[in-house]
Amino acid sequence: NAGVTQTPKFQVLKTGQSMTLQCAQDMNHNSMYWYRQDPGMGLRLIYYSASEGTTDKGEVPNGYNVSRLNKREFSLRLESAAPSQTSVYFCASSERLAGGQMGDTQYFGPGTRLTVL
């Protein structure tokens, strides 16, 4: 099993350009997430999808859109990139949202390092 895969690994954009970050999981998980990680800011949730067909905003959704293409795939789109979106982006998945008897482990991908000039 590959777990959670993300493409691309690195990307450099100019201000105003658009791009889509791809994420796929092979664990048959229901829930998927997009986070951004910035120095000193920890992991901040951008969007999540509790189950196929649903998406919800997280803590920092402005400037992003998402698509839950199917159960396996969850993409993140930057329509008009800005330097403030320079960050490392992580996709994660879990069997279901956190909570329940013991919560649910989130499995993270290797990340996409994005630089917006």
Partner 1 sequence: QQQVKQSPQSLIVQKGGISIINCAYENTAFDYFPWYQQFPGKGPALLIAIRPDVSEKKEGRFTISFNKSAKQFSLHIMDSQPGDSATYFCAASTEGYSTLTFGKGTMLLVSP
CB nearer partner 1, residue 3 or residue 16: 3
Shortest gap between Cβ of 80 and partner 1 (angstroms)? 26
Shortest gap between Cβ of 76 and partner 1 (angstroms)? 15
Give the range of 13-21, 62-70, 71-79, 108-116 binding partner 1 by CB under 8 A: 108-116
Q: Is 75 exposed, middle or buried (0-12, 13-18, 19+ CB in 10 A)?
A: middle
Nearest Cα residue to 89 out of 75, 71, 69, 103: 75
CB nearer partner 1, residue 8 or residue 103: 103
For CA atoms 101, 45, 48, 90, the dihedral sign is: negative
Residue 34 binds partner 1, judged by CB under 8 A = no
